[in-house]
């Protein structure tokens, strides 16, 4: 059972307190987008084995959404951070690079 | 004969006799016995029948690895199937019945399967029962269900209670043998908070039986002292009868504590599920002895060597006067010594190794026992019990050299560390060729949230089999400094791995060598699977059922892997192991459920009017977690009659509905209008204060997810009504977009669903009822259709919405929940002279269908867009963007060939079946009838006196007047005419009064 710390309220929460929200940092494609970019936004996900950025909601707690940087294979958590950002913050990226020297970001 | 010895038995108290029943027979045992030891003491060698061949089976082991002695334990509301006799503590009045036989344990007709064993090879389900197809349902399956399966499912509700228990500790230690105790001492002395779990009823594991010295004294004394010291430490918790069941992601552990199994009916919960978070987990689960694979190794009387000495030393039970020991290692000789110490005979020791010169073999020889090296068992023979052992050369093909009559054959194929908990979350193993077992690889431990090792493993579970090494390893794992108390045991010579006995056994012998006693899997089955191309161990496991059911890689695991590796001509580590999954041994459904049963399983939400409905005799309908009145039957009315009366009364006079369950979400802030314009398909920012608008909400995928009436309360505040089931979901949907996409917009949302009671007063006389109560102007001019006003009715604060889901003149009146009942009573009283009646959800549904109003979940199913439902008018053309807009522009969504909403009237006036398909000519590729639509709502309309239905039909709106065929439940079709879905008052005259 995963243990993630909610950055909004500071609680280290069991997975049963949380709801997953899929891949983080997607860019919304609105009415102006062409078919390919809209398809990408709606359906295409990286689903990497390894470092991944995810959305979670502390649904049975403070109710806030947040982001988590996690290794999908080892389940190591590099950190959790605010949902109100379009890219992972530097301290999280530094932590990931320290733990996964070969990692070059999710293309 | 197995029998009780006059002396010995550390655990039993001959001064406390206990009576119990097995298959109706009254038997005697002692306090401290397990059910297995007491059965053996009564010479009940035969305890069950095997799964497939119904072979007679006896007790093989003395612990959790026992495959055969699974019984139906208890009766009625306390019946537990598949209870393991070896871990069931005996108590006075215990009742047990053996399983998997018919008509009786001694005479079982299913044993004919053994004669047919050539017809029941590996994968026989797949091979034998495929054709002819109807035979599966009517012949094969009933036969297999009758003759297979183990325990009997209880039919009564469980009489016991269960609970969950949460714990947070620094160190959790699983296993209370000497390793677990030593680790607990080290961690406890260092001041860490420690929880030590032991699955059995005693501390110290098997060390007191196996002998050796710790700290210069006997091991049992050291164990007692260690437990006393731990009991004296405030930071240490000790739990007996508590198994570490599973290790999960990020170091979460479940424990299974059996509190009342040894004293049923005592007050308190029967089982407890521990849910533990520990900084560090130490697995000290010991090792299990492996059987040897020789022909006839499943006969009652053939037992693990360790179990034979357990029964003698722990319970004072002899497993037979004459014992033969067959072994490939020195440890097995401990059994020979225990048998001799009990005054019984060891007729011979068959050692598969070419020489046996270690300290233990020498001791056995010194006591005059014949030790035959390089020898094995060609076959064990007997009927319902072992009669003789036939000796052969281990290196040969099984030619019999000598036949030795005996009652007990003790076998030892070496030991395997119990690595289950290490492996549950991905701890890796490495193959130790010298000792022939998989051991934990310390460099590839299970990791926690921080990426560091969270599970450690110590003692025999970590591959250390000598007492000194076990204590040192446990001391290290517990974080101890310096050296622990030294342990001493006789030195042991290396074992010689034996995966088949003899090495070159012929097929007729291999067909009688059991690898998995419970699932009846033999050496020949695994070899056949390999021959048929099953190279992966995971596939072989499933094809042959090796190690399935309760075994889960305990007795059968390594032997099966080794046989597969041999057959594939591979190394054992190349074949690998199957995946160990929790729980370690089966845990009760009750423990998993805990308190969540009966009324607590899923708590019911009740409106403030619940009690009134109940008194009125409401027939309830579950809606989400709510209970809503479906109808209020009067006198001897059927539900259908009640619904018809409620509809007619509402249409002709006035009805009242408890609408409190509708979702009510307040959206407020400078950007609230902009936000709602994104959420709804239509424009909400332009809604004037004091007005209401029906709105549709779609997902980003374009599909309709909810609908409801939105009211603008003031300049920056909107009240959004949602469906009853949708309030939490839609509130979460709003929050998701606000928090994760438009976080710079200034908007607050609050779900106020339960803050208000809401009452619909509906019907031509609705206005008269409100006016009678008085307090505010509800006239057609002051409160127009789709207006709302704050005010008072009968002195009570209310907010009145003039909205209608029935097509009638209708007011929905909200008041603070605490005053809801008061308002309902006043309205009901005021309505008496106008003929008011309450109506339920079914009348609501019928009336909305008569008006052609859609219902989320009936007309929608997650694949329907508003345009399919003729709701294009509610989709703004002016807005640049809203959720779902882009998706609805996709070619498939704009395709005119979609299924679209129509009404259906059956030609014969009957009611169409719910969910019926509208069929078309021809069949599809699967030979099924082609379809062109489906019925989404169907009712008997009391207003029209006939069946009405709404349906999604291919190009529906363009086909008005056409007659289509819808299928019926019991075959055949019924003709229906395509019409407008608005069946009643299409001009809306009734509500505009």
The pLDDT > 90 percentage for chain A reads 94
Would the pLDDT of B422 be above 50?
yes
The token pair at B823 is 């308002």
pLDDT in tens, B721-740: 999 999 999 999 999 999 99
Instruction: Kindly state whether residues B739 and B878 are assigned to the same domain.
Output: yes
Look-up of token digits 């006079």: B653
- Measure A48 CA to nearest chain B CA, in Å: 18
Average pLDDT for B129-134: 60
Average pLDDT for A76-93: 97
Instruction: Kindly state whether residues B398 and B299 are assigned to the same domain.
Output: yes
pLDDT in tens, B683-715: 999 999 999 999 999 999 999 999 999 999 999
| A50 vs A52: CA distance, rounded Å | 6
The Cα-based distances of B697 to B198, B688, B871, B891 in angstroms read: 55, 20, 12, 21
pLDDT at B51: 77
**Structural domains of chain A ordered from first start:** 3-99 (3.30.2270.10)
The token pair at B405 is 């009559």
The reply to whether B615 falls in a domain is no
The Cα-based distances of B758 to B188, B657, B813, B815 in angstroms read: 60, 9, 5, 7
Is B537 within 8 Å of B577 (Cβ atoms)? yes
Is B121 within 8 Å of B525 (Cβ atoms)? yes
Instruction: Kindly state whether residues B84 and B101 are assigned to the same domain.
Output: yes
The token pair at B872 is 């294009």
pLDDT at B109: 63
DSSP B138: I
Instruction: Kindly state whether residues B820 and B696 are assigned to the same domain.
Output: yes
What is the 3-class SS of B803-836, one letter each residue?
A: CCCCCCCEEEEEEEHHHHHHHHHHHHHHHHHHCC
Instruction: Kindly state whether residues B223 and B169 are assigned to the same domain.
Output: yes
pLDDT at B687: 98
pLDDT at B135: 66
Structural domain of B325 = 289-414+493-575
* Confidence band, pLDDT 50/70/90 cuts, at residue B577: confident
Q: Which of B488, B517, B536 is the last residue of a domain?
A: B488
CATH number reported for the structural domain that contains residue B987 in this entry: 2.40.30.110
Would the pLDDT of B130 be above 60?
no
Instruction: Kindly state whether residues B90 and B219 are assigned to the same domain.
Output: no
Q: Chain B residues with CB inside 8 Å of A4's CB?
A: 449
CATH number reported for the structural domain that contains residue B879 in this entry: 3.30.1360.120
pLDDT at B123: 66
Instruction: Kindly state whether residues B315 and B217 are assigned to the same domain.
Output: no
The pLDDT > 70 percentage for chain B reads 95
Interface size A-B, in CB pairs within 8 Å, comes to: 66
Instruction: Kindly state whether residues B525 and B398 are assigned to the same domain.
Output: yes
The reply to whether B617 falls in a domain is no
Average pLDDT for B921-946: 96
Would the pLDDT of B339 be above 60?
yes
For residue B375, list its beta bridge partners: B393
Look-up of token digits 């994760």: B740
| B529 vs B546: CA distance, rounded Å | 11
The reply to whether B604 falls in a domain is no
Contact between chains at A83 and B880 (C-beta distance less than 8 A): no
Is B415 within 8 Å of B286 (Cβ atoms)? no
CATH number reported for the structural domain that contains residue B203 in this entry: 3.50.50.60
Measured between CB atoms, which of A59, A63, A76 is closest to B449? A76
Burial of B652 (C-beta count, 10 Å sphere; 0-12/13-18/19+): middle
pLDDT in tens, B235-254: 999 999 999 999 999 999 99
HSE-up of residue B526 (Cα within 13 Å, Cβ side):
33
> Residues of chain A whose C-beta is under 8 A from some C-beta in B?
1-4, 14-15, 21, 28-31, 33, 35, 38, 42, 55, 57, 59, 63-65, 71, 74-77, 83-84, 99
Instruction: Kindly state whether residues B273 and B294 are assigned to the same domain.
Output: no
Average pLDDT for B597-604: 91
Contact between chains at B890 and A59 (C-beta distance less than 8 A): no
The pLDDT > 90 percentage for chain B reads 87
Mapped onto helix, strand or coil, the DSSP state of residue B640 is helix
What H or E segment, with its residue span, contains residue B169? strand B162-174
Would the pLDDT of B520 be above 90?
no
Instruction: Kindly state whether residues B878 and B915 are assigned to the same domain.
Output: no
What is the 3-class SS of B293-345, one letter each residue?
A: CCECCCCCCEEEHHHHHHHHHHHCEECCCEEEEEECCCCCHHHHHHHHHCCCE
For residue B274, list its beta bridge partners: B165, B255
Look-up of token digits 């086909």: B959
Q: Which comes out higher in pLDDT, residue B518 or B409? A: B409
For residue B693, list its beta bridge partners: B710
Q: Which residues are CB-contacts of B666 (< 8 A; sequence separation ≥ 6)?
A: B713, B717, B718, B719, B720, B748, B749, B750, B752
Mapped onto helix, strand or coil, the DSSP state of residue B528 is helix
| B476 vs B429: CA distance, rounded Å | 20
pLDDT at A107: 47
Average the pLDDT over each of A28-32, B110-114, B786-790 and give the range with the smallest value.
Answer: B110-114
Instruction: Kindly state whether residues B753 and B844 are assigned to the same domain.
Output: yes
Report how many domains make up chain B. 5
Instruction: Kindly state whether residues B337 and B225 are assigned to the same domain.
Output: no
Number of Cβ within a 10 Å radius of residue B596 = 12
The token pair at B729 is 């979901």
Average pLDDT for B964-985: 95
The reply to whether B794 falls in a domain is no
Average pLDDT for B455-470: 96
Measured between CB atoms, which of B248, B451, B700 is closest to A99? B451
Interface test with B, best of A16, A42, A50, A51 (most B CBs within 10 A): A42
Q: Which residues are CB-contacts of B805 (< 8 A; sequence separation ≥ 6)?
A: B760, B844, B847, B848, B853
Chain B residue nearest residue A8, CA to CA: B739
Q: How far is CA B532 from the centre of its chain?
A: 33
Q: Which of B854, B879, B894 is the last residue of a domain?
A: B894
For residue B132, whether the previous peptide bond is cis, meaning omega lies within 30 degrees of 0, is yes
């Amino acid at each position: 059972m995963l243990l993630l710390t909610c950055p909004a309220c500071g609680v280290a929460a069991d997975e049963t307190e949380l709801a997953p929200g899929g891949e983080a940092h997607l860019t919304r494609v609105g009415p102006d987008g062409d078919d390919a970019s809209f398809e990408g936004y709606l359906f295409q996900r990286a689903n990497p084995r390894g470092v991944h950025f995810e959305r979670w909601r502390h649904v049975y707690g403070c109710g806030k959404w947040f982001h988590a940087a996690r290794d999908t294979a080892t389940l190591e958590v590099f950190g959790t951070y605010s949902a109100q950002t379009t890219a992972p913050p530097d301290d999280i990226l530094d932590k990931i690079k320290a733990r996964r020297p070969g990692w070059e970001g999710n293309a | 004969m197995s029998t009780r010895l006059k002396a010995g038995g550390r655990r039993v108290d001959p001064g406390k006799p206990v009576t119990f029943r097995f298959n109706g027979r009254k038997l005697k045992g002692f306090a401290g016995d397990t059910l297995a030891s007491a059965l053996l003491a009564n010479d009940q060698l035969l305890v069950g029948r095997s799964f497939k061949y119904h072979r007679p089976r006896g007790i093989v082991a003395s612990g959790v690895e026992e495959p055969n002695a699974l019984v139906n334990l208890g009766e009625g509301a306390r019946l537990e199937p598949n209870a393991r006799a070896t871990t069931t503590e005996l108590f006075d009045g215990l009742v047990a019945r053996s399983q998997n036989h018919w008509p009786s344990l001694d005479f079982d007709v299913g044993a004919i399967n053994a004669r047919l064993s050539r017809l029941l090879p590996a994968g026989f389900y797949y091979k034998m029962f495929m054709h002819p197809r109807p035979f599966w349902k009517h012949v094969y399956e009933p036969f297999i269900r009758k003759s297979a399966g183990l325990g009997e499912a209880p039919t009564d509700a469980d009489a016991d209670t269960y609970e969950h228990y949460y714990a947070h500790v620094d160190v959790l230690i699983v296993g209370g043998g000497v390793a677990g105790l030593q680790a607990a001492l080290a961690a406890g002395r260092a001041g860490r908070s420690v929880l030590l779990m032991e699955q059995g009823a005693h501390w110290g594991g098997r060390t007191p039986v196996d002998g050796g010295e710790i700290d210069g004294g006997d091991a049992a004394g050291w164990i007692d002292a260690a437990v006393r010291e731990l009991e004296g430490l405030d930071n240490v918790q000790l739990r007996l009868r508590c198994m570490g069941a599973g290790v999960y992601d990020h170091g979460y552990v479940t424990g299974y504590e059996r509190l009342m199994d040894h004293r049923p009916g005592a007050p308190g919960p029967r089982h407890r599920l521990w849910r533990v978070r520990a900084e560090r987990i130490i697995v000290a689960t010991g090792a299990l002895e492996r059987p040897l694979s020789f022909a006839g190794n499943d006969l009652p009387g053939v037992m693990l060597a360790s179990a034979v000495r357990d029964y003698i030393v722990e319970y004072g039970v002899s497993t037979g006067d004459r014992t033969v020991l067959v072994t490939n290692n020195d440890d097995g000789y401990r059994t020979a010594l225990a048998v001799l110490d009990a005054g019984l005979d060891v007729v011979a020791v068959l050692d598969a190794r070419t020489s046996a010169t270690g300290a233990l073999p020498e001791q056995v020889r010194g006591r005059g026992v014949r030790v035959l090296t390089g020898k094995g068992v060609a076959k064990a023979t007997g009927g319902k019990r072992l009669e003789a052992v036939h000796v052969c050369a281990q290196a040969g093909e099984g030619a019999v050299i000598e036949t030795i009559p005996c009652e007990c054959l003790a076998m030892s194929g070496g030991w395997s560390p119990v690595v289950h908990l290490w492996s549950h979350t991905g701890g890796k193993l490495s193959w130790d060729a010298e000792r022939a077992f998989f051991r934990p690889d310390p460099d590839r431990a299970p990791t926690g949230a921080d990426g560091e090792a969270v599970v450690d493993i110590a003692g025999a579970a970590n591959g250390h089999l000598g007492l000194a090494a076990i204590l040192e390893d446990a001391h290290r794992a517990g974080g101890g400094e310096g050296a622990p108390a030294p342990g001493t045991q006789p030195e042991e010579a290396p074992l010689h791995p034996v995966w088949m006995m003899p090495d070159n056994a012929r097929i007729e012998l291999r067909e009688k060598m059991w690898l998995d006693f419970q699932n009846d899997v033999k050496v020949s089955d695994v070899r056949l699977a390999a021959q048929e191309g099953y190279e992966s161990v995971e596939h072989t496991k499933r094809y042959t059922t090796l190690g399935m059911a309760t075994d889960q890689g305990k007795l059968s695991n390594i032997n099966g892997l080794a046989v597969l590796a041999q057959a594939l001509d591979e190394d054992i580590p190349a074949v690998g192991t199957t995946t160990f999954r929790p729980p370690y041994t089966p845990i009760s459904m009750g423990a998993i459920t805990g308190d969540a049963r009966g009324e607590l399983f899923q708590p019911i939400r009740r409106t403030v009017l619940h009690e009134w409905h109940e008194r009125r005799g409401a027939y309830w309908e579950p809606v989400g977690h709510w209970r809503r009145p479906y109808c209020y039957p009067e006198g001897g009315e059927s539900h259908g009659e009640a619904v018809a009366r409620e509809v007619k009364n509402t249409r002709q006079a006035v009805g009242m509905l408890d609408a409190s369950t509708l979702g009510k979400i307040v959206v407020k802030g400078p950007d609230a209008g902009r936000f709602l314009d994104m959420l709804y398909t239509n424009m909400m920012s332009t809604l004037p204060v004091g007005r209401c608008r029906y709105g549709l909400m779609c997902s980003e995928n374009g599909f309709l997810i909810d609908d409801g009436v939105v009211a603008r309360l003031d300049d920056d505040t909107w009240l959004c009504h949602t469906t009853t089931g949708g309030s939490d979901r839609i509130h979460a949907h709003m929050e998701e977009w606000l928090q994760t996409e438009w976080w710079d917009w200034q908007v607050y949302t609050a779900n106020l669903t339960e803050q208000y009671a809401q009452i619909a007063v509906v019907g031509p006389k609705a206005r008269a009822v409100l006016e009678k109560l008085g307090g505010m102007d509800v006239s057609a001019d002051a409160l127009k259709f789709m207006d709302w006003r704050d005010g008072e009715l009968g002195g009570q604060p209310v907010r009145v919405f003039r909205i209608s889901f029935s097509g009638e003149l209708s007011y929905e009146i909200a008041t603070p929940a605490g005053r809801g009942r008061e308002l309902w009573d006043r309205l009901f009283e005021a309505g008496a002279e106008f003929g008011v009646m309450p109506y339920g959800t079914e009348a609501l549904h019928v009336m909305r269908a008569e008006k052609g109003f859609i219902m989320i979940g009936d007309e929608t199913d997650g694949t329907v867009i508003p345009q399919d439902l003729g709701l294009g008018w509610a989709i703004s053309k002016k807005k640049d963007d809203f959720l779902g807009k882009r998706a609805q522009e996709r070619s498939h969504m704009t395709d005119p060939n979609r299924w679209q909403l129509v009404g259906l009237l059956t030609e014969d006036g009957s009611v169409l079946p719910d969910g019926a398909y509208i069929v078309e000519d021809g069949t599809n590729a699967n030979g099924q009838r082609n379809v062109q639509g489906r019925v989404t709502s169907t009712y008997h309309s009391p207003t029209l006196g006939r069946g009405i239905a709404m349906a999604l039909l291919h190009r529906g709106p363009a086909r008005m007047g056409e007659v289509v065929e819808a299928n019926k439940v019991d075959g055949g079709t019924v003709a229906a005419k395509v019409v407008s879905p608005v069946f009643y008052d299409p001009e809306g005259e009734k509500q505009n009064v």
